[in-house]
């Protein structure tokens, strides 16, 4: 039985991904900052563990307790929407701590075990904002684009040790908690000079015919985890697939 460790499982993509792997016979370590076991199946193959990816010591503890791990899914992330001009640098750093440095720290923690066994896959969940730019998400885009560059280099670094690195790129997911979870963080980030741009951006997003669902991302992550080909990027969601094709 293979084991997958997934971060950010309290809602949305991470929650559905944990369910997806469990339904297919995997042993799942579902991590979240505040554990809610009731969200997931009660099963000897399901462990719900407290983990904040911005806490290095806790990362070390969790990985050591869950070894051997076959697949790491770096899904934990926080959102940010607002004018960069109005965004405090402390907020930018907060986004990077989770979306970028937390993801890197998780990867660094599992690599020694993967290397020793000469197998393992790291799946990093990013975003289509790394494919196609959009306004008012500059800091968020930077945090996700950094992981894209990091992953492409890391894949070359780890290939000779039998370790694979994959990227899953979700599109716009209206059913996620992106806005809700970042409400306090985004307060005051849309001053009047940017109000019209924000309105047009919301209208454009709201008018999309194709969007991404948690099920789309879970399937994309699962495919990436099992993929042994050189393919690295897996767009997830009808809108993401269309964007990737247009590029």
Q: Which residues contact 232 (CB under 8 A, 6 or more apart)?
A: 151, 152, 155, 165, 166, 167
Residue identified by tokens 């979306």 is 99
What value, to the nearest 5°, has the Cα angle with vertex 75 and ends 74 and 76? 105
Rounded distance between C-alpha atoms, residue 235 and residue 170, angstroms: 6
User: Among the options 13, 140, 194, 222, which is catalytic?
Assistant: 140
Instruction: Tell me, rounded to whole angstroms, the distance of Cα 93 from its chain centroid.
Output: 17
User: Closest Cα partner for 11 from 47, 45, 35, 44?
Assistant: 35
User: Closest Cα partner for 212 from 174, 167, 246, 166?
Assistant: 174
Token couple for 88: 């405090």
Strand 120-125, strand 3-6: pairing? unpaired
* Residue 94, phi then psi, degrees to nearest 5: -60, -45
Which of 232-247 are b and which e, b meaning 16 or more Cβ less than 10 Å from the residue's Cβ? ebbbbbbbbbebbeee
**Residue 140 designated active-site:** yes
Q: Which residues are catalytic?
A: 140
């Amino acid at each position: 039985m293979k084991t997958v460790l997934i971060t950010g499982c309290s809602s949305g993509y991470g929650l559905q991904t944990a369910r997806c792997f469990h339904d297919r016979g995997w042993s799942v370590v579902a991590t979240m900052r505040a554990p809610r076991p009731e969200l997931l199946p009660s099963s000897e193959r399901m462990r719900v563990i407290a983990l904040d990816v911005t806490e290095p010591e806790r990362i070390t503890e969790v990985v050591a307790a869950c070894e051997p791990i076959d697949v790491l899914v770096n899904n934990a992330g926080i959102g940010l929407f607002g004018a960069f001009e109005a965004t405090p640098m402390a907020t930018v750093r907060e986004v990077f701590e989770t979306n970028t440095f937390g993801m890197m720290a998780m990867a660094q923690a599992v690599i020694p075990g993967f290397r020793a066994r000469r197998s393992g896959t790291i799946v990093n969940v990013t975003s289509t904002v790394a494919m196609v730019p959009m306004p008012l998400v500059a800091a968020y885009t930077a945090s996700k684009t950094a992981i894209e560059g990091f992953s492409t280099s890391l894949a070359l670094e780890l290939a000779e040790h039998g370790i694979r690195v994959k990227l899953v790129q979700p599109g716009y997911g209206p059913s996620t908690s992106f806005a809700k979870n970042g409400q306090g963080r985004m307060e005051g980030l849309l001053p009047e000079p940017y109000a019209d741009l924000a309105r047009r951006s919301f209208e454009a997003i709201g008018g999309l015919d194709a969007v991404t669902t948690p099920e789309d991302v879970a399937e994309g992550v699962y495919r990436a985890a099992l993929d042994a080909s050189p393919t690295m990027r897996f767009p997830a969601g009808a809108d993401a697939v269309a964007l990737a094709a247009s590029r």
